[in-house]
Structure 1
Amino acid sequence: MPYWRLSGFYFFYFASLGALVPYWGLYLQAQGFDALAIGQLMAILYATKIVAPLVWGQLADRSGRRMPLVRLAALLSIVLFGLIFIGEGFWATALAMALFSFFWNASLPQLEAVTFNHLRHRPTRYALVRLWGSVGFILVVLGLGLALHAHSLSILPWWVLAVFVGIWLSSLLIPDSAPARPEASTPRLNALLRRPEVLAFFAACLLMQLAHGIYYAFYSIHLEANGYGTDAVGGLWALGVIAEVAIFLVTHRLLERFGARRVLLWSLGLAVARWLVIGAWVELVWLQACAQLLHAATFGTFHAAAIHWVHHAFPGRTQGRGQALYSALSFGAGGAAGSLIGGVLWEDAGALLTFGVAALASLLGWWLAWRWLTPALPQTVSAD
């Protein structure tokens, strides 16, 4: 398995998230946009994640070749991000964000499928590759937090552009891989999507990412409004991802011992507590630190368990579309809905109610997973 080459892609891809997620809302605020406009613009990053992975997944599953598409998407995201430097106003910014994020969001689900194919019979080891993405996120979020303490937010787009170049360069080094299962055993996609446990799984993922959409769009703004500087904001974000790295080191053992269903349930339950703490006790730094440590569960173990579940539920030539559906419905539709809901609620309803909605969404996701997901992984799904 090309461990370090795969890890390099994750490093740069999530380094780009380390620049965009904590600070892009602050950048938009510095450009003069209000909370509603920020919510709408941040939702674009998630909305393109609904469409792009599905388009790329269809192309990849039909061709059986994923890495050429990953490399093309990475290159086009660099070119189109340049529009950020020349556009002004809401619509120009919205167009630039829609174009570059369409291709930026297209590459990761296909790389996930490639990674699992290289892992073959050791899929629980995914977290040991993915943890390098968290390392990239930490380094950028801390470095950029310190840089913004000394400079203006105008430097942010240059940091994003630099890590986009890193994504493309790292993609050139990764060899393609064949599907892990023979095509003859592959069920039809529509047969898989009619299964109640598959529908419940995707609904739970959507609700979890709806909660995170609120968090990603407004957590930094929430902290800054309550007296936190950019270095403190960056430190709290980094703390959450440090916890994520730590949990990735042992996630394969958790999955082997407890199974994906139990890990998903614990992750959703801890998410309810996390959002309530963030909304209600922002002035208590130690509690915010505790809430950020829970990122190990709400993102780390949840994502590893979810992508493990998808790998087993969507075999053979459905792999690309399975990973694309997971990305589109959770990070895409869920993230966009959360960002929009946060934008509508933030100024009038306040932080407590807004993050209360996030907690409620996670609680509903927990109930769906508890009710319909079975303890056994869906390894023996067959076509109608």
Structure 2
Amino acid sequence: MTLSPRDPVPVTRLSSFYLFYYAALGAFTPYWSLFLTARGMSVTAISVMMGIWYATRIVAPTTWTSIAAASSRPIRWLRVGTVLTLITFCAFLLPLPEPWMFPAMVVFCFFYNAVMPQFESITLTHLGNDSHRYGLIRVWGSLGFIAVVMGFGWLIDGNGGPGHAHLLPWMMLPLFALLVVSAFANDYARDLHRAHGDASGFWQIVRKPQVLAFFVAAFMEQLSFGPYYTFFSVYMDHHGYATSTLGLLWTVGVVFEVGVFFTIGRFFRRFDASWMLLIALVSSTLRWAATALYPENLPVMLVAQSAHALGFAAFFAAAMQMLATYFPGRLNGHGQGLLYGFSSGVGGVLGALIAGQLWTIDQGRTAFLAGSGFALAGALLCFFAISLPLLRAARRRHAS
């Protein structure tokens, strides 16, 4: 499925969606726990709130991609999803009582998590056999993330520090409005028609050992990120870091992430993506161990944060390559839904809840050590179930 010269990749339109989606995530991921703290919520309540973000990933991606696949005009559902994301987010502009914060979070996170897997499929319909170019489009999401993390950190500090993080929803609102604009500017590369038997063919692929191992390894990686996504800002604040320094720590990894997205296509042209998946899992193992053991050492933390380029960017790019291989054509949307739903969704919610339970032991050290253990388990599974069999098969072919 190679695009003809008459069907060029609309890089600007595709990049804009990643830009605004991840710019909003650049406000949500590092600062939302500070916003919830400013609202007076406890650590346990915050872990539940952040767990909701991942819990909705269990159902939202598969639900939305299934609805879109059954529609005669699937692009409508991307646009509906972004509009509903904007509308439901407006609830946080109101002085909601704490019990109402939870249902508001459920509804908002459902729609926010629903749209990206569908858009990933839209991007891949444009790229076709040139999926190695994915990083050059996805990198704009990283640039948006960097700009917002740094800019919002400065603004929160400039308005009195973490106690004034209640301004965050007003700061995020324009980003969701721009996401809606981008959704209406984008479309699939070609008409998509519902294919009979896709579901049965999809599950036949999922049952293959290497595919199952891929999803479980991705699950373990997401599980390991639980303490980071839920409490890293609180963890750093506890160890005396200013909000502006916190913004720097969040940004360091994403800066290196940009470099990974620009260059990783060369790696995929020479090596199987499973090797990059393995490298990413090993890097996360070391990163969480360093975060647990040396939180007050700024140089160590900067190096640990730079590993985000591998643990997130390289991991995600490798996952997209493997999904494109395992689930070609129309099946890719279902694969995206399962990756987001099971690996990111179930792994994310369990990671957040486990982090909340372990946090009270010693204010985060045990939680991050557990994250290191989860990533190590994923790395071992990836090596023995995916990379090593591929290596043995390659040697047999060479010998013959």
> For residues 306 and 179 of structure 1, do their structure 2 counterparts lie closer, same or farther at Cα, with a shift above 3 Å needed?
farther
Partner of 2:175: 163
> Residue 318 of structure 1: which of 303, 315, 331 is its match?
331
The answer to whether structure 1 residue 335 and structure 2 residue 348 are counterparts is: yes
1:115 to 99, 106, 123: 123
TM-score (norm 2): 0.90
1:242 Cα shift?
0.6
- 1:50–1:333: 8 Å Cα contact kept in structure 2? yes
1:84 to 92, 95, 104: 92
Q: Deviation string for 1:113-138 (max 9, x for gaps)? A: 11011001110110110000000000
Quote the offset at 1:222 in angstroms. 0.7
SS in 1 for 2:188: coil
Q: Which has the larger radius of gyration?
A: 2
Aligned residue in 2 for 1:21: 29
| Kept in 1: contact 2:249–2:305 (CA 8 A) | yes
1:309-359 Cα shifts (integer Å, max 9, x gaps): 112211222221111111111221111111111111112243221101100
Q: Which moved more, 1:65-74 or 1:230-239?
A: 65-74
Is contact 1:183–1:316 with CA below 8 Å preserved after alignment? no
Partner of 1:4: 12
Task: Tell me, yes or no, if the aligned pair for 2:52 and 2:106 is still in contact at 8 Å.
Answer: yes
Shift of residue 182, structure 1, vs aligned partner? 11
Task: Give the C-alpha shift of residue 360 in structure 1.
Answer: 0.5
Aligned counterpart, 2:297: 284
* Farther off after superposition, 2-11 or 212-221: 212-221
Please, which moves more after superposition, 41-50 or 83-92? 83-92
Retained in 2: the 8 A contact 1:179–1:316? no
Where in structure 2 are there 5+ consecutive unaligned residues?
1-8, 394-400
Query: What SS does structure 2 have at the residue aligned with 1:316?
Result: coil
The aligned residue for residue 172 of structure 1 is: 184
The Cα shift of 1:33 comes to: 1.3
Tell me the secondary structure at the aligned position of residue 19 of structure 1.
helix
Contact 1:66-1:111 within 8 A present in 2 as well: no
List per-residue Cα deviations over 1:43-64 (Å, max 9, x = no partner). Answer: 1011111111010111122236
Does the 8 Å contact 1:67/1:111 carry over to 2? no
Q: Does the 8 A contact of 1:120 with 1:180 survive in 2?
A: no
Q: Secondary structure at the match of 2:185?
A: coil
Q: Which moved more, 1:315-324 or 1:200-209?
A: 315-324
- Aligned-pair CA distance for 1:18: 0.3
Contact 2:70 2:194 in 1 (8 A): no
Residues 218 and 378 of structure 2 are in contact (CA less than 8 Å); yes or no, is this contact kept in structure 1? yes
Q: Aligned residue for 2:232?
A: 219
**Could you say if the C-alpha distance between residues 95 and 226 of structure 1 is closer, same or farther in structure 2, counting changes exceeding 3 Å?**
same
2: CA distance between counterparts of 1:164 and 1:269?
Answer: 35
1:6 counterpart letter in structure 2: L
Q: How far apart, CA to CA, are the structure 2 residues paired with 1:185 and 1:335?
A: 30
Q: Which residue in 1 is equivalent to 2:59? A: 51
What is the identity, as a one-letter code, of the residue corresponding to 1:272?
T
- CA displacement at 1:88 relative to structure 2: 2.7
Of 13-22 and 362-371, more deviation after overlay is shown by 362-371
Judge conservation of contact 1:240–1:295 (CA < 8 Å) in 2: yes
- Asked whether the 8 Å contact 2:235–2:363 carries over to 1, the reply is no
User: What are the superposed Cα offsets for residues 347-379 of structure 1, whole Å, 9 maximum, x if unpaired?
Assistant: 2243221101100000011111112114699xx
* Correspondence for 1:363 among 354, 376, 379: 376
Match for 1:68 among 73, 76, 79? 76
Secondary structure of 2:271's partner? helix
Q: 2:255 and 2:191 mapped to 1: Cα distance?
A: 32
Q: 1:115 to 1:189 in 2, by over 3 A?
A: same
Q: Distance in 2 between matches of 1:262 and 1:20?
A: 31
For 1:380, the equivalent position in structure 2 comes to none
Is 1:38 the counterpart of 2:46? The answer is yes
Alignment pair present for 1:188 and 2:196: no
Distance, in Å, in 2 between the alignment partners of 1:331 and 1:344 is: 19
Listed as ranges, the gaps of 5+ residues in structure 1 are 378-384
Which of 268, 271, 277 aligns to 2:284? It is: 271
The TM-score, its normalising length taken from structure 1, stands at 0.94
In 2, distance between residues paired with 1:158 and 1:308? 37
Q: CA deviation at 1:183?
A: 5.5
The answer on whether the counterparts of 2:125 and 2:188 sit within 8 Å (CA) in structure 1 is: no
Deviations 1:150-193, CA, capped at 9 Å, x for gaps:
11112100122221111111111112234899959967122112
CA contact (8 A) 1:206 1:330 kept: yes
**Aligned-partner residue type, residue 102 of structure 2:** A
Aligned counterparts of 1:212 and 1:9: Cα–Cα separation in 2? 24
Task: Report the counterpart of residue 143 of structure 2 in structure 1.
Answer: 135
SS of the residue 1:188 aligns to: helix
Deviation for aligned residue 1:73: 0.2
1:101 paired residue among 109, 114, 121: 109
Task: Give the distance between the partners of 1:280 and 1:16, measured in 2 at CA.
Answer: 31
Q: Secondary structure of 1:63's partner?
A: coil
SS in structure 1 of the partner of residue 225 of structure 2 = helix
> What's the secondary structure of 1:136's corresponding residue?
helix
Q: Is the 8 A contact 1:124 1:252 kept in 2?
A: yes
Alpha-carbon separation, structure 2, partners of 1:200 and 1:102? 27
| C-alpha RMSD of the superposition | 2.0
What is the percentage of aligned positions where both structures have the same residue?
A: 36
